[in-house]
Amino acid sequence: MKRIDTTVRSIRKVAEGYFELRFAWELPDNGDPVIGDPVIGDPVIGDPAIGNPAIGNPAIGNPAIGAPSIGGHVNGGHAGDDSPAPGRFVTIRAGGRYDPALRRPFAFSDYSPDAREAAIVFQLRGRGTAFLADLKPGDPLDVLGPLGKGFGSPPRSTRPVLVAGGIGIGPMLYLASALAARADAGLGEAPTLAMGFRSAAYVPGLPLPPGAVVCTDDGSYGYEGTVADYLAGYDPGLPPAFYACGPAPMMAAVGRLAAARRAPYEAAVEQWMACGVGACAGCAVPLKSGAFVRACADGPVLDGDLVDWEASL
């Protein structure tokens, strides 16, 4: 994890209320140490993954569930390294130095080592994202990351079934391209990506992988119905391994599908966050066991079978 003073490469609207922001991804050679800013809540601890004690609520401290079921990350992606792997995220200081006060978290939607460029896809929501939407190429950008734990590699001879909705579209597109590249290299099966949107206006104008299925609630584009409706009748041809990111009802529905098929399920949660580095317990995710984990440090990719989705709704 490093703080990077970087530059906007491009920004464009890709759907109703959605933007793609691409920015230079060049890590400082020996790492810009994370210098805390107590006034505005920047982390004052180092990287929790490399041994600093977690300061959060002890009740939240069972970090053992970061995507164990599928095992082996798609592209690096554990919190101790600097790879912008699918499922990991950055926090961006959006706006002036103190407004809004907290950094905003966004998952990587793409990363190109050759172009030294990373990207996010974000939805316009409030002050922070309004600031991002106003950025221009060449504008400075203050980024902290990569943070959190990414997706794991699918078990051998399973079909990766990727499910995306709403603001989950960015990380799932990135995971789809990483898994497709692995499959092209003979390292696994080609993924299926199913995406759900309210209507055609929300379908992003981004390159979609071959065979991607678009579902809209009103039938204005692709399959009419929810992505869960679509998947209920879908035959993956192999035992499935589910991966999902999106609204809690969709995540819960994928959880039911995975349970019914006794399939592994990796879920990237988008819990409200404060510090983003495991220090404040502000991102607690309830588990079925009654315990909690921190989305930012123990996730955001978690074993979806363990998460209490009903409590998250």
Ligand X SMILES: Cc1cc2nc3c(=O)[nH]c(=O)nc-3n(C[C@H](O)[C@H](O)[C@H](O)COP(=O)(O)OP(=O)(O)OC[C@H]3O[C@@H](n4cnc5c(N)ncnc54)[C@H](O)[C@@H]3O)c2cc1C
CA atoms within 13 A on the CB side of 277: 29
Q: Which is nearer to ligand X, 163 or 263 (CB)?
A: 163
Q: Applying CB under 6 A, does 88 fall inside the site for ligand FES?
A: no
Q: Which of 3, 56, 161, 257 binds ligand FES (CB under 6 A)?
A: 56
Q: Applying CB under 6 A, does 275 fall inside the site for ligand FES?
A: yes
132: three-class secondary structure by DSSP? helix
Partnered with residue 123 across adjacent β-strands are: 18
Q: How far apart are the first and last CA of the chain?
A: 31
Residue 179's binding partner out of ligand X, ligand FES, none, with CB under 5 to 8 Å set by partner kind: none
Q: Which is nearer to ligand X, 245 or 263 (CB)?
A: 245
* Centroid of chain to Cα 129: 16
Q: Which is nearer to ligand X, 126 or 219 (CB)?
A: 126
Q: Which of 3, 93, 104, 294 binds ligand FES (CB under 6 A)?
A: 294
Ordered DSSP codes for 194-219: EEEESSGGGS--SPPPTT-EEEETTS
Q: Applying CB under 6 A, does 302 fall inside the site for ligand FES?
A: no
Residue 120's binding partner out of ligand X, ligand FES, none, with CB under 5 to 8 Å set by partner kind: ligand X
Residue 159's binding partner out of ligand FES, ligand X, none, with CB under 5 to 8 Å set by partner kind: none
Q: Are strands 104-107 and 89-93 parallel, antiparallel or unpaired?
A: antiparallel
150: three-class secondary structure by DSSP? coil
List of residues contacting ligand FES (CB under 6 A): 56, 273-276, 278-283, 294-297
